[in-house]
């Protein structure tokens, strides 16, 4: 039990950090923290976050009870939250002052808002490696649909793609068959109920299919998620790492 003085100090410290952080609702996070360590206060936790770029650290959770400071990347909060698992932990989302003045629900040029995320589909079908670097050149990563809404956004993008499919930022972990991690840095991605009929099939003997695309209707393939080899060519769907706005359609 912390003495009243310590509680007051924490409140002051949190208020001092308020200008550089937005306090969001209590959350729980599916993904692992990028970094976890012990810190004396919320302010020192915030300073550790600020020692990184906004892409590397988009916010933190400080637990005064055990002095645990956890840094997160890529606005990991959001649809990863399972509301029935909410805790009283306070996620402090880092303010990004250089964010373009595009209004609350706007996105930078070329990107459109969907389910709170900024997305951009590229025109050319390329392999997964090239898709990743093309998104990175835009300050983004391949899209990682975690919620039903985000999955619908990705499926809608696939429906308008020339190839009727888009690459996602899901990669099957080499040592863990069936576990897919997200390019958003927020850990394992829930995959239940997303796969197209007969997927994932790992491509059969001798073929490693460890990347995931979203197929729309209107092809010979079943609609839904498919595993494919990294060398397959599909259109990239990029997602901005920062600037998640939970209240925006
Ligand atoms: C949320 O968490 C509860 C409790 O762990 C679990 O029963 C439920 O299936 C989860 N819901 C989703 C959508 O993950
Ligand atoms: C992807 O394409 C690039 C450029 O054509 C090539 O250099 C690279 O080897 C390819 N990677 C895979 C995994 O196919
Ligand atoms: Ca497959």
Ligand 2 pocket, CB under 6 A: 127, 129-130, 230-231
The tokens for 238 are: 């990029």
The tokens for 73 are: 């990347």
Question: Cα separation of 47 and 152, whole Å?
Answer: 37
> How confident is the model at residue 3, as a pLDDT?
35
Question: Cα separation of 199 and 19, whole Å?
Answer: 47
Nearest atom in ligand 1 to 190's CA: 14
- Asked if residue 60 has pLDDT above 90, the reply is no
Q: What is the pTM of this model?
A: 0.78
Query: Residues lining ligand 3 (ion), CB within 5 A?
Result: 201, 209, 226-227
Per-residue model confidence as pLDDT tens digits over 149-167: 999 999 999 999 999 999 9
The tokens for 102 are: 């595009």
Nearest atom in ligand 2 to 127's CA: 1
- Asked if residue 26 has pLDDT above 70, the reply is no
82 lines ligand 1 (CB under 6 A): yes
Banded pLDDT at 202 (limits 50, 70, 90): confident
Q: Which ligand is nearest to the CA of 129?
A: 2
Top mutation candidate among 127, 232, 234 for ligand 2, by most atoms within 8 Å of CB = 127
3-state secondary structure of 214: strand
Beta bridge partner(s), residue 180: 172
Average pLDDT, the chain: 82
Query: Atom 3 in ligand 2: which residue has the minimum CA distance?
Result: 130
Question: Cα separation of 34 and 38, whole Å?
Answer: 14
Question: Cα separation of 120 and 230, whole Å?
Answer: 20
3-state secondary structure of 121: strand
Q: Which ligand is nearest to the CA of 191?
A: 1
Taken in order of first residue, the domains within the chain and their CATH numbers are: 35-93 (no CATH), 112-240 (3.10.100.10)
Banded pLDDT at 82 (limits 50, 70, 90): very low
Banded pLDDT at 11 (limits 50, 70, 90): very low
Query: Atom 12 in ligand 2: which residue has the minimum CA distance?
Result: 231
Per-residue model confidence as pLDDT tens digits over 117-151: 999 999 999 999 999 999 999 989 999 998 899 99
Per-residue model confidence as pLDDT tens digits over 88-118: 567 787 876 545 556 778 899 999 999 989 9
The tokens for 200 are: 């994932």
């Amino acid at each position: 039990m912390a003495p009243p003085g310590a509680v007051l100090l924490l409140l002051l410290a949190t208020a001092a950090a308020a200008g550089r952080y937005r306090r969001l609702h209590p959350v729980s996070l599916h993904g692992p923290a990028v970094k976890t360590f012990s810190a004396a206060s919320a302010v020192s936790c915030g300073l550790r976050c600020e020692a990184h770029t906004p892409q590397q650290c988009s916010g933190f959770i400080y637990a005064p009870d055990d002095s645990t400071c956890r840094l997160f990347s890529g606005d990991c909060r959001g649809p990863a939250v399972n509301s029935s698992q909410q805790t009283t932990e306070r996620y402090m989302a880092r303010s990004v002052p250089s964010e373009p003045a595009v209004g609350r629900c706007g996105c930078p040029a070329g990107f459109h808002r969907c389910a709170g995320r900024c997305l951009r589909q590229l025109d050319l079908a390329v392999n997964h490696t090239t898709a990743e670097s093309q998104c990175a050149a835009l300050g983004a990563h391949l899209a990682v649909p975690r919620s039903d809404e985000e999955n619908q956004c990705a499926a809608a993008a696939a429906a308008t793609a020339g190839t009727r499919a888009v690459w996602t930022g899901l990669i099957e972990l080499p040592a863990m068959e069936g576990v897919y991690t997200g390019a958003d840095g927020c850990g394992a991605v829930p995959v239940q109920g997303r796969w197209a009929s007969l997927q994932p099939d790992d491509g059969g003997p001798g073929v490693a299919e460890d990347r995931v695309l979203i197929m729309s209707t209107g092809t010979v393939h079943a609609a839904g998620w498919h595993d494919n080899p990294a060398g397959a060519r599909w259109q990239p769907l990029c997602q901005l790492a920062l600037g998640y706005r939970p209240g925006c359609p």
